[in-house]
Structure 1
Amino acid sequence: MPKDRRVLVLTYTTVNQNELRDRLSSQAGDHPHIEVAGWFSFLISNFVRPFLPFLYSGKRVRGFDFSSPPQRYLGNKDWNRYFNQHDEVRKVHLPQLVTRIEEASGRAGIRRLERMYDQIFIDEVQDLCGYDLEILKLLMSSRLSVEMVGDIRQAILATNQQEVKNKQFKFMNIWKWFQAEEAAGRLTITQRPQTWRCRPEIALLADSLFDSSWDFQKTLSLNSALTGHDGVFLVRPRDVGSYLARYEPLALRDSVNSAKAYNHLSPMNIGVSKGLGVPRVLIFPTGAIQQYIQQGKALEPQQAAKFYVAITRAEQSAAIVLDKAGNSDLPIWDPELV
């Protein structure tokens, strides 16, 4: 990429913003025109702050309200729908506000971005939903070069889970939105199924969580490293302490309400781990995941996506805490045999 090319990289989660900055610093540190920003700060800085007066004359943004619930009883033109009593813009309606500002200003925000940047990359695009998809359409129709990167199978977060706009495309169903946009000629989908992170055994289990109707290509693992403990294992509850002491995996759980018996181990919630890459993980499974492993019972898309995220944090080994293997052929780790 030419060093004079002006590039903006966008992503949703703070974890991923930090990881992107670290990667760019180490791999493109000599490129002076690359910026990384969060999705919401991007919307406020480039649309709302400069062009709010086109919609609400004399008004200013005085902060960001991350926690307000949807303002269901306020009309789309009502100031209080988008701002709280402190004139802080509400996250829950921020993307809708952006679309209204763009309409009122004659796409002033998009035209400004066209002057500021040559290219926009959007990472973790599967996290976007609601009016965010309308903003993607605005960006795709601009003169900017727009590239979006994401893994539909990691769609466990959403910028606004309560938004009803485009609700049919929320979480993994955003794949249908991309397919529809491709059919309309507005974008091109390229699947890149290679992984440098996960061992082949991990990639194979991750692929198995989704049936062929999703039309996902089979993952090709390019990780050939051997450490003496590689692949996918089951760990009996009684052996968890020994396993943690020997391999120091990242312990993962579905939520604070699951795996309570292991709270003293301070496991990380799967959603928080998204974007991380670590040598090993130890997963405390939900009941649905236990049934998938022991009985082969299919997982619902969101259950499969969460399990997929947990498994694919790992480079060399992924272990699941289960007392019995059931019908699974996954090996049970035995501390006496290691």
Structure 2
Amino acid sequence: MDKQLILAVAGSGKTNHIINRLNLADNSLIITYTDTNYRVLRDKIIQKFNFFPQNITLFTYFSFLYSFCFNPLLSYEICAKGINFKEKPNQYTRKNTLNHYRDNSNRLYSNRIAKLLKEKNIFPAINQRISKYFDNLFIDEVQDFAGNDFNLLISLLGAKVAILLVGDFYQHTFNTSNDGNVNKDLYNSYDKYIEKLKETGIVIDNTTLNKSYRCSPTTCSLITNKLGIEINSHKTEPTNINIINDFEHAKSILANPIVVKLFYKEHYKYNCYSRNWGDCKGEDKYNDICIVVNKEIYEMLSENSVNNLTPTTKNKLYVALSRANNDVYILPNEYCKKLK
């Protein structure tokens, strides 16, 4: 069976690539991480077929874990009443005790469900279920699989179905889970990440989706030159990168209800049309955007300074910049603080 990982850039049509593979004959399982991307996939499936076909199954990752993996394969042995996404489990409980995986309300800790399935030797049974019910397995947002969930991802490659993984390494802004040192440094190095996946025998494709339909050549050049993330554009028309250094200009942009303001965090504290950098991943509805940055990043984007951001900050900034279909405004957060 073909097993392929397509490494894509922002706006290159990752979701559409999956949709184009779907038909009414093959049974297909699609897994994605975020609720936003789940909705996008669902809408595009309905748009393609004018209804949601019965031969296509779409899961968010944790719904897949709980409904497709845990419930039919382990619930007869372990009682559980849902998933605990908030409370962190005790790091010092032994892995052979239920307290290691379940809270006092019998909810499974989200970051240890995959670990529980592995410890109970359920991974092979999961692959058997996939092979029994489906012809194809598609996993979107593969760059967000971390901790114990990455171990499950690697195991899923053993299912006897055609497999397509799609993701953008540099859009790794969230983790499906964290658990101590389990795959802790997985996303610190692109090269090491690729080598780890190559060990599975999966075919890696970094050319099919290496151009953006969303971002202009101007925005792509900014991302490549300032962040060190290579991205090219299908577009030919240039756009504008506007470095704001005037308070009155800043006020007019902040008051503009059409231009979305993208903050590193806590966008809700500002009385304007806004989102956080990482949270806007998967969204493709913005024309002009305004990136609100601190002094360090402002200088980096407006001058010829080198990229020395942490991987997390760099990735979130990449996500934010790549939301632009048209012009980009760079706004120092000191102006926002005056209007807060």
State TM-score, norm by structure 2.
Answer: 0.82
1:248 corresponding residue in structure 2:
258
Q: Which string of whole-angstrom CA distances, capped at 9 and with x for unpartnered residues, describes residues 122-152 of structure 1?
A: 1111111111121112111221222111111
Partner SS state of residue 193, structure 2: helix
Name which of structure 1's ranges 304-313 and 153-162 shifts more when overlaid on structure 2: 153-162
Partner SS state of residue 111, structure 2: helix
Q: Distance in 2 between matches of 1:286 and 1:188?
A: 40
Deviation at 1:42, TM superposition (A): 0.6
2:83 corresponding residue in structure 1:
64
2:211 corresponding residue in structure 1:
194
Q: Tell me, yes or no, if structure 1 residue 52 matches structure 2 residue 52.
A: no
- Aligned pairs, number: 306
Q: Which string of whole-angstrom CA distances, capped at 9 and with x for unpartnered residues, describes residues 49-76 of structure 1?
A: 11115xxx64322111111213211111
2:63 corresponding residue in structure 1:
41
Deviation at 1:159, TM superposition (A): 1.4
Amino acid at match of 2:171: Q
Q: Distance in 1 between matches of 2:86 and 2:123?
A: 30
Taking a change above 3 Å as real, the CA distance of residues 314 and 140 of structure 1, as seen in their structure-2 partners, is: same
1:336 corresponding residue in structure 2:
none
Deviation at 1:177, TM superposition (A): 2.5
Q: Distance in 2 between matches of 1:159 and 1:63?
A: 16
Q: Which runs of 5+ in 2 are unaligned?
A: 1-20, 335-340
Paired residues of 1:130 and 1:160 also in contact (CA < 8 A): yes
Q: Distance in 2 between matches of 1:15 and 1:169?
A: 24
Taking a change above 3 Å as real, the CA distance of residues 208 and 162 of structure 1, as seen in their structure-2 partners, is: farther
Partner SS state of residue 10, structure 1: strand
Taking a change above 3 Å as real, the CA distance of residues 115 and 174 of structure 1, as seen in their structure-2 partners, is: farther
Aligned ranges 1:101-180 → 2 under 5 Å: 101=120, 103=121, 105=122, 107-170=124-187, 172-173=188-189, 176-180=192-196
Partner SS state of residue 265, structure 1: coil
Q: Distance in 1 between matches of 2:154 and 2:319?
A: 27
Q: Distance in 2 between matches of 1:176 and 1:128?
A: 15
Deviation at 1:279, TM superposition (A): 1.3
Amino acid at match of 2:319: V
Amino acid at match of 1:26: Q
Q: Distance in 2 between matches of 1:177 and 1:35?
A: 29
Paired residues of 2:38 and 2:60 also in contact (CA < 8 A): yes
Partner SS state of residue 283, structure 1: strand
Q: Tell me, yes or no, if structure 1 residue 276 matches structure 2 residue 299.
A: no
Amino acid at match of 1:254: Y
1:17 corresponding residue in structure 2:
38
1:290 corresponding residue in structure 2:
298
Paired residues of 2:135 and 2:161 also in contact (CA < 8 A): yes
Deviation at 1:240, TM superposition (A): 2.6
Amino acid at match of 1:222: H
Q: Tell me, yes or no, if structure 1 residue 79 matches structure 2 residue 98.
A: yes
Paired residues of 2:293 and 2:333 also in contact (CA < 8 A): no
Higher RCO structure, 1 or 2 (CA under 8 Å, sep 6+): 2
Q: Which runs of 5+ in 1 are unaligned?
A: 325-338
Q: Which string of whole-angstrom CA distances, capped at 9 and with x for unpartnered residues, describes residues 208-255 of structure 1?
A: 2444xxxx6x433113468xxx33212234213323555711111001
Q: Distance in 1 between matches of 2:83 and 2:254?
A: 41
2:316 corresponding residue in structure 1:
306
Out of 99, 109, 118, the residue aligned to residue 99 of structure 1 is 118
Q: Distance in 1 between matches of 2:283 and 2:78?
A: 40
Q: Distance in 2 between matches of 1:134 and 1:58?
A: 23
Identity %: 23
Paired residues of 1:247 and 1:280 also in contact (CA < 8 A): no
State TM-score, norm by structure 1.
Answer: 0.82
Q: Tell me, yes or no, if structure 1 residue 235 matches structure 2 residue 244.
A: yes
Q: Distance in 1 between matches of 2:175 and 2:123?
A: 28
2:5 corresponding residue in structure 1:
none
Q: Distance in 2 between matches of 1:106 and 1:294?
A: 50
Deviation at 1:282, TM superposition (A): 0.7
Amino acid at match of 1:307: L
Amino acid at match of 2:312: Q
Paired residues of 1:276 and 1:313 also in contact (CA < 8 A): yes
Q: Distance in 2 between matches of 1:29 and 1:110?
A: 31
Paired residues of 1:198 and 1:312 also in contact (CA < 8 A): yes
